[in-house]
A and B are shown apart, each in its own frame.
Chain A
């Protein structure tokens, strides 16, 4: 099994870097939407290879990071209910909400389990018929179909103790909100690879068409990202704006029809709150009426309490691409991976964590 090393071959890097330097005569700012891209760029020190005229800015593509405190508080409040098992992906456990975290709720006696997929959460529901299992549905279009599939499966099995707290988010609407705000001036967008594997590349076309910004769907290996930067630079040099796919081994223009169908069968678009953005219309997913018996929000009586946002935390600004982690007065001081103040320092896809671990790569 060789799925990694061929995308890190140093001999191919030189050619791409040469191309990028040749194209990059104008000053340009590209945003990598995905936290996964940010981490790869930082980890492999890719900025060291780019000409000074090119700037890379990190975007809001980290599902854990964009989850609003008000929504985190809901999960934490649910964890404190008797006979409720919270099933969640690992990163969410340590993210601080307004007053507490799932980790603290667990230490206080709450039943919080880390799962690797919704199948594990379904298994928990089957094994614990006397309890209610609530899956914390955090994620983009990448994970939403798997959550939808788990609801369909629970429906087929007649499981009456499985619930989803749907905090899912959709990417194209938030990019539109970001561009409409006018806060960041972008000449290119590195579009999310895994999200596009599900929704295809067509949903990005409005960006190229209406905003004149070149788009390239990128994979997550260093060579993928360099190739995408090269393709964006070439578009900028030619004055073009199109949607291109660099991640052809994972993405087609139309995406994964089955995944989209399942997602649309179970969920419908709804407004959602994003950290840093506030409410963005049509950017969330709520359960359709016929599946509302699986909706944790509608089926439990719980009080998440008033929402409090930590003073001084710049996660919101970082997610909008208007600040970088070292701009935050808490970064590396009050806020570290061991003692995170904001989610961007917790998540494995968070910009602050990436800057914390690999940021000094930029010094050399």
Chain B
């Protein structure tokens, strides 16, 4: 069968006709191959036992390639991490692409390769997918949606509602890397840093944490809105206050400097490979030790505690010895970072 040669995505690639067929056969199936996907039926049939976690997210990051990752890696990590944050073991992902006419085929192949590699690292299978192509100008290069299914082991009960007064607050690593790395690539934002996005699948880190403690109450990855917004959400959902210590929160010098220059606060800048956990204080030491042995948790530390008074409020003790209210993010200082 002769293949149609083109180096750009055409509208016909999304038509359901021959080009679409070839694209799926040549680009997606071999790269993402697994027994469920290669059936190429209208839906993947999977068997399960016990509780399932199910989530979805769309990815519109601009630019689609950035230091430390790309939209494909982000699309796998984001959904894997959403599953991991309820303590689920991610198993299956769907993958839907909305492609702007004219996207270089090489860019698409690079993204698919990245999806393949990230799925391999995370240990998940892409079992169903879809491709649409829209007229030039009706999307920006490439948008991706992934949905994911994960298995929740008996006894695991992790939720934003479960933080309890007395819990220790653990952060897995430095904050702000993703938002600043993406921003540094934007047109008109010519500042050079060696900074890379922290984009990473965190399911192995969560599995390690669950292996040493059954008293992990709450997990969340501080993506859009950053650590500050995540802590506020948890404080509100759980009806508690959270007190954190500025000096315990790692921020790379490049991130701090870029934030100063741009008038941003690292506490509000997005992360794609960090998690924050509320755990029983008695287990905090063991959990942090175990996290440090995982490549995604090497800088894990206790950064604060959960308290009862003033429910919904997040307060930070500053390096100066003063205290500061940490509010939710208002507005969108960094659009389309994920």
Name A residues whose Cβ lies closer than 8 Å to a Cβ of B.
Answer: 1-5, 8-10, 13-14, 43-46, 48-49, 94, 115-116, 120, 222, 336-338, 348, 356-361, 364
Q: Judge whether B253 and A45 touch: CB under 8 Å.
A: no
Q: Judge whether A116 and B256 touch: CB under 8 Å.
A: no
B324: Cβ under 8 A from any A Cβ:
yes
B322: Cβ under 8 A from any A Cβ:
yes
Q: Judge whether B322 and A361 touch: CB under 8 Å.
A: yes
Residues of chain B with a CB closer than 8 A to A10's CB: 247, 319-321
Q: Judge whether A3 and B257 touch: CB under 8 Å.
A: yes
Residues of chain B with a CB closer than 8 A to A5's CB: 253, 256
Residues of chain A with a CB closer than 8 A to B318's CB: 44-45
Q: Judge whether B321 and A43 touch: CB under 8 Å.
A: no
- Smallest beta-carbon distance A74→chain B, Å: 25
Between-chain CB contacts (< 8 Å), 14 pairs: A2-B253, A4-B260, A5-B256, A43-B324, A49-B322, A94-B331, A116-B188, A116-B189, A336-B330, A338-B330, A348-B263, A357-B330, A361-B322, A364-B323
**Considering the complex, which residues of chain B in the window 297-332 have a beta carbon less than 8 Å from any beta carbon of chain A?**
318-325, 327, 330-331
With contacts defined as CB atoms under 8 Å apart, how many contacts are there between chain A and chain B in the complex? 66
Name B residues whose Cβ lies closer than 8 Å to a Cβ of A.
Answer: 188-189, 247, 253-254, 256-257, 260, 263, 318-325, 327, 330-331
Residues of chain A with a CB closer than 8 A to B331's CB: 94, 337-338
Measured in the bound complex, the distance between the Cα atoms of B324 and A4 in whole Å is: 18
Main secondary structure of the interface of B (DSSP, over half): loop
Given contacts A3-B260, A10-B321, A49-B321, 11 further A-B contacts (CB under 8 A): A5-B253, A10-B319, A13-B321, A44-B324, A45-B318, A45-B324, A46-B320, A116-B189, A338-B331, A356-B327, A360-B325
Measured in the bound complex, the distance between the Cα atoms of B255 and A5 in whole Å is: 12
Residue in A closest to B259 when the chains form the complex, CB atoms:
A4
With A4-B260, A338-B330 known as contacts, the answer to whether A120 contacts B321 (CB < 8 A) is no
Measured in the bound complex, the distance between the Cα atoms of B188 and A14 in whole Å is: 41
Measured in the bound complex, the distance between the Cα atoms of B260 and A115 in whole Å is: 18
Q: Judge whether B327 and A48 touch: CB under 8 Å.
A: no
Residue in A closest to B264 when the chains form the complex, CB atoms:
A348
Residues of chain A with a CB closer than 8 A to B188's CB: 115-116, 120
- Smallest beta-carbon distance A331→chain B, Å: 15
Residues of chain A with a CB closer than 8 A to B324's CB: 43-45, 358, 361
Q: Judge whether B256 and A4 touch: CB under 8 Å.
A: yes
Partner of A13, one of B254, B263, B320, B330: B320
Q: Judge whether A1 and B257 touch: CB under 8 Å.
A: yes
Q: Judge whether A8 and B319 touch: CB under 8 Å.
A: yes
Residues of chain A with a CB closer than 8 A to B320's CB: 8, 10, 13, 44-46, 49, 222
Residue in B closest to A220 when the chains form the complex, CB atoms:
B260
Residues of chain B with a CB closer than 8 A to A358's CB: 324-325, 327
With A116-B189, A337-B330, A338-B330 known as contacts, the answer to whether A1 contacts B325 (CB < 8 A) is no
Measured in the bound complex, the distance between the Cα atoms of B206 and A120 in whole Å is: 44
Measured in the bound complex, the distance between the Cα atoms of B321 and A195 in whole Å is: 30
Measured in the bound complex, the distance between the Cα atoms of B254 and A14 in whole Å is: 27
- Smallest beta-carbon distance A107→chain B, Å: 15
Measured in the bound complex, the distance between the Cα atoms of B260 and A261 in whole Å is: 28
Q: Judge whether B257 and A48 touch: CB under 8 Å.
A: no
Q: Judge whether B323 and A48 touch: CB under 8 Å.
A: yes
- Smallest beta-carbon distance A114→chain B, Å: 9
- Smallest beta-carbon distance B192→chain A, Å: 11
Residues of chain A with a CB closer than 8 A to B330's CB: 336-338, 357
Measured in the bound complex, the distance between the Cα atoms of B322 and A116 in whole Å is: 33
- Smallest beta-carbon distance A294→chain B, Å: 22
Measured in the bound complex, the distance between the Cα atoms of B188 and A305 in whole Å is: 34
Residue in B closest to A43 when the chains form the complex, CB atoms:
B324
- Smallest beta-carbon distance B13→chain A, Å: 30
